[in-house]
Amino acid sequence: EPDPSFDLNAAIAGYEIKRPFGASTVSKVTMETRRYEMAENDLGVESVLFRFDGAGDCTLTLVCKGAVHNIPFGLDHWKIGMTDRTLLFARSAYPNPMDVTPVRTAGICTWTADDKLSAYFLSMFNPGSSETFEFSFEGDELKMEIVPPTGTRFGPPGMAAAKTEPIILNGTKIKD
């Protein structure tokens, strides 16, 4: 017979997905949009936008040739969201051959220094798919580092192997 004093919601509330970053935010950006034009690159990323809301949560927008992708991140907490992005930059997971979109995600970001934002997201469509971004802001310049995952190689035989070195893109702030 169930115990009426047992509160399942309270028991579950203590569980969470492990955070990928050891530190918590040292500073906070709120109610701001930052736009950067990216230098020509093999990934086709033309511009990157950061939209910070009142709580400091960030929506990262990647403008690529022929597509615009939005990925939501919670500041120091997991934020469930959606994206239409179907392939990771590091090619570390099976592609989405059916182009099923939108894809549900869980994203978290942390300011590890006043000028450094780390962001990580998990794809719930493709288990094991994740991507880590390290953003460095220096004046009007942006350095975007895509950190490849470590460990297991994903994909069928013959699929291009995952990148093992960080992918680095650079951009310049777009003035309003």
Identify whether 88 is part of a domain. Answer: yes
Q: H/E element holding 173?
A: strand 167-173
The pLDDT score that the predictor gives to residue 17 is: 63
The pLDDT score that the predictor gives to residue 92 is: 46
From the number of C-beta atoms within 10 Å of its C-beta (0-12, 13-18, 19+), residue 57 rates as buried
Q: Give the domain CATH number at 90.
A: 2.40.128.20
Identify whether 9 is part of a domain. Answer: no
Max mean pLDDT range (46-50, 63-67, 99-103, 153-157): 46-50
Identify whether 5 is part of a domain. Answer: no
Domain count, the chain: 1
Q: Does residue 127 carry a pLDDT above 80?
A: no
Identify whether 39 is part of a domain. Answer: yes
Identify the domain containing residue 76 by its residue range: 33-173
Identify whether 56 is part of a domain. Answer: yes
Q: Whole-model pTM?
A: 0.78
Q: Which residues of 126-145 are buried (b: 16+ CB within 10 A; e: fewer)?
A: beebbbbbbbbbeeeebebe
The pLDDT score that the predictor gives to residue 142 is: 98
Identify whether 103 is part of a domain. Answer: yes
Q: Which residue has the higher pLDDT, 36 or 128?
A: 36
Q: In the predicted model, what is the mean pLDDT of the chain? A: 82
Q: Does residue 2 carry a pLDDT above 70?
A: yes
Distance, in Å, from the CA atom of 108 to the CA atom of 122, rounded to the nearest integer, reads 9
pLDDT tens string 44-96: 999 999 999 999 999 999 999 888 889 999 999 999 998 877 666 655 444 55
Identify the sign of the CA torsion 154, 163, 161, 90.
Answer: positive
Contact predicate 62/35, CB 8 Å: no
Identify whether 11 is part of a domain. Answer: no
Identify whether 107 is part of a domain. Answer: yes
